Amino acid sequence: MDFNNEFKGIDFDAMDYPPTDEPLRQMYFMYKLRKVFDEKEKSLGRKLTYCVVTFGCQMNAHDSEKLEGILEEIGLNAASEDTADIVIYNTCTVRENANQKLYGHLGQLKAAKKSNSEMLIALCGCMMQQDDVREYIREKFRFVDVVFGTFNVFMLAELLYRRYSGEKQVIEVKKEHGKNFENSLPEKRKYSFKSGVNIMYGCNNFCTYCIVPYVRGREISRTPEDILDEIKSLVADGVTEIMLLGQNVNSYGKKYMDESEIVKSSAEYDFPELLNDVCKIEGIRRVRFMTSHPKDLSDRLIEAIKNNPKVCRQMHLPVQAGSNRILKAMNRHYTREHYLEIIEKLRASVPDIGITTDIMVGFPGETEEDFLDTVDIVDRVGYDQVFTFIYSRRSGTPAAEMEQVPEDVVKDRFDRLLKKVSEKAAERVGRFKNTIAEVLVEDMDSHDETMVTGRMSNNTLVHFKGCKEMIGKYINVKLTEEKGFYYIGEPADNLEGLAE
Ligand code: SAH
Ligand code: SF4
Ligand code: F3S
């Protein structure tokens, strides 16, 4: 839907009450907010600004693009956190210390608010789904203006309007999924040529260390039609690379949501099928997805990757731990043997695939032997990249009640793991040296203005001499120098005429 036309085509002034139907209701509030801001900007003699600060995973990053889209649609400009008039913290709560960190930030914002009387502070994201956090904010941080949850992102304009209309501390946190208007509200994408697309929300896995299922709700998938329609409109906007997002994309399609109801449950249409359908969309050149859970990764998915050159040669497959005892205690539902078997199948079918993972050290009850099993997995798999985490005792999860490993032991294991990880990754990335790879150019190099940076299909970063006209284009690059996690290269084709 062309939001601008809808927005401008409707006479909101003639309405006595806000419309009840979404997303029209939100457009009404955007319109009303613009009127409020017009007045403010006139008396201040300057434009109002915003800043969205994002913590956590791809889900939050994508939600922030929606928040920014709404704020830009209302005509606000982006600014830095300490000068912005509307500051939104999109929080993550996966680690226990996140709460204390947020409260620390809020202390600083309180001072900033004193020097800018216009300043409005809003908090959203996973942390706000927790009752105790909201209670604490209500009691201790009265100067926080708006609090909303992960299921309320689409209604930002309405919540801001309520605050500007005199309501004191606006708190709106839904606990369950409803329709969230992915296709019909604005989005400010960081890149014009690539975009994330939510294919499902929530998680059913209840890994014993993880808070996500408690704050993001039960797993539910968007219908294929809804997803494919969104991707088609992104393509019409110039997007060529899509990242399909979900906490466990391999279980896509078990329960669908449509118009805030679950309309069907189907075993027939699953993730491999969705992947194939996305690839069929004309104009799409690359499709990525994350996260995959090893327990649900099927042979059909491996086939779909193999047969579809548009599916990127990249697999993020969190292993978390290498010991069967720990995997069981984590409730991961796979063994190290099964995991290694998947890796073998993936490599046999898609030899150039880049494999990345998440690993946690210090899960309750982890012995030296268990830890060495984790190091062994890193050795055997040879990951291109490993995201390493120190286990955090997340209250509200079963693992928080289990016997914890002493901090100094965990720290020592973590350092040893990091060492192994960087040795192996450096070995891995070198395998493409002197070959030619297709690179989607993403940005100018932040350290050298004569260089650009982009990514290979397997997600490896490549830097090479270039110009801003290359951004968003696919360029064949010879990978001449290997630099640990990335390559320096040189364009392999004649690029004359690109700057025209
Ligand atoms: N759905 C994804 C991961 C989502 S959370 C999956 O199943 O892999 C991202 C990562 O944060 C996890 O992979 C895990 O390694 C880490 N994580 C989650 N809870 C944690 C905790 N309590 N302490 C430390 N790391 C944690
Ligand atoms: Fe958390 Fe496990 Fe769900 Fe991932 S699969 S979000 S780690 S509960
Ligand atoms: Fe954090 Fe929420 Fe993602 S808790 S990891 S932002 S789903």
pLDDT tens for 404-450 read 999 999 999 999 999 999 888 778 778 899 999 999 999 999 888 89
- The residues near 367 (Cβ < 8 Å, ≥ 6 apart) are none
Residue identifier of the C-alpha nearest atom 1 of ligand 3: 92
Residue type, 291: T
Reference 315, options 331, 295, 328, 301; nearest CA is 301
- The residues near 370 (Cβ < 8 Å, ≥ 6 apart) are 321, 322, 323, 325, 326
Going from the Cα of 56 to the center of ligand 3, the distance in angstroms, rounded, reads: 5
CA of 248, closest atom in ligand 2: 5
Ligand 1 pocket member 293 (CB < 6 A): yes
Ligand 1 pocket member 414 (CB < 6 A): no
Averaged confidence pLDDT in the chain: 91
pTM: 0.92
The residue whose CB lies within 8 Å of the most ligand 1 atoms, and thus the one to mutate among 218, 296, 389, is 389
Ligand 1 pocket member 394 (CB < 6 A): yes
The residue whose CB lies within 8 Å of the most ligand 3 atoms, and thus the one to mutate among 90, 94, 128, 291, is 94
Q: What is the pLDDT of residue 11?
A: 84
Q: What is the pLDDT of residue 258?
A: 61
Ligand 2 pocket member 93 (CB < 6 A): no
User: Which residues in the chain land under pLDDT 50?
Assistant: 1-5, 259-265, 499-500
Ligand 1 pocket member 358 (CB < 6 A): yes
Ligand index nearest the alpha carbon of residue 56: 3
Q: What is the pLDDT of residue 42?
A: 95
Going from the Cα of 388 to the center of ligand 2, the distance in angstroms, rounded, reads: 15
What SS3 class is residue 73?
helix
How many other CB atoms are there within 10 angstroms of residue 168's CB atom?
9
Going from the Cα of 216 to the center of ligand 3, the distance in angstroms, rounded, reads: 8
Going from the Cα of 395 to the center of ligand 1, the distance in angstroms, rounded, reads: 14
Going from the Cα of 5 to the center of ligand 2, the distance in angstroms, rounded, reads: 40
Q: Are 330 and 370 in contact (CB under 8 A)?
A: no
Tell me the backbone φ, ψ of residue 282, rounded to 5 degrees: -65, 135
Going from the Cα of 155 to the center of ligand 1, the distance in angstroms, rounded, reads: 28
Going from the Cα of 126 to the center of ligand 3, the distance in angstroms, rounded, reads: 6
- The residues near 111 (Cβ < 8 Å, ≥ 6 apart) are none
Going from the Cα of 210 to the center of ligand 1, the distance in angstroms, rounded, reads: 6
Q: What is the pLDDT of residue 500?
A: 41
Ligand index nearest the alpha carbon of residue 208: 2
Alpha-carbon span 84 to 275, nearest angstrom:
40
- List ligand 3's pocket residues with C-beta within 6 A: 56-57, 59-60, 92-94, 126, 211-212, 215-216
Q: What is the pLDDT of residue 161?
A: 97
Q: What is the pLDDT of residue 228?
A: 94
Alpha-carbon span 289 to 287, nearest angstrom:
7
Ligand 2 pocket member 210 (CB < 6 A): yes
Ligand index nearest the alpha carbon of residue 318: 1
Ligand index nearest the alpha carbon of residue 397: 1
Q: What is the pLDDT of residue 233?
A: 94
Residue with tokens 């190290």: 336
Q: Are 193 and 441 in contact (CB under 8 A)?
A: no
Ligand index nearest the alpha carbon of residue 394: 1
Ligand 1 pocket member 214 (CB < 6 A): no
β-pair type (86-91, 120-125): parallel
Q: Are 88 and 50 in contact (CB under 8 A)?
A: yes
